[in-house]
């Protein structure tokens, strides 16, 4: 089993490290919920609600968002350059070191 480290910027300059497994097919949304972050995930990870919106601040390059994710991101009142739906980011060895902020 390979564990990866994800960093959540809780306040500017303050990051919390959370560790997630890459062998369970989990999404970043699931890891954030399990780590007691206030992610609603109303649609259960189907890219239908955007209540798991995060801002990617740094780290490895992620795969480009799909059409469903892009469509949902367009509905947000505020978007950032690194806006993504955490339900669409899979935990893989390639996501090790990712830095995100939960968009509120």
Q: How many CA atoms lie within 13 A of 51 on its CB side?
A: 14
Given a cut of 70, whether residue 1 has pLDDT beyond it is: no
Any residues with CB less than 8 A from the CB of 25 and at least 6 apart, and which? 90
Q: Where are the domains of the chain?
A: 3-102
pTM equals 0.93
Q: Are strands 98-102 and 3-11 parallel, antiparallel or unpaired?
A: parallel
Nearest alpha carbon to residue 98 among 22, 47, 25: 22
10-32 pLDDT tens trace: 998 899 999 999 999 999 999 99
CATH 3.40.190.10 assigned to domain 3-102? The reply is no
């Amino acid at each position: 089993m390979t564990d990866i480290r994800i960093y959540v910027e809780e306040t500017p300059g303050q990051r919390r490290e959370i560790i997630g497994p890459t062998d369970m097919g989990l999404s970043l949304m699931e890891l954030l919920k399990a780590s007691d972050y206030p992610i609603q995930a109303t649609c259960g990870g189907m890219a239908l609600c955007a209540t798991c919106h995060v801002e990617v601040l740094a780290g490895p390059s992620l795969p480009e968002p799909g059409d469903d994710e892009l469509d949902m991101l367009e509905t947000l009142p505020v978007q950032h350059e690194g806006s993504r739906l955490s339900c669409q980011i899979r935990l893989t060895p390639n996501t090790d070191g990712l830095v995100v902020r939960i968009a509120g």
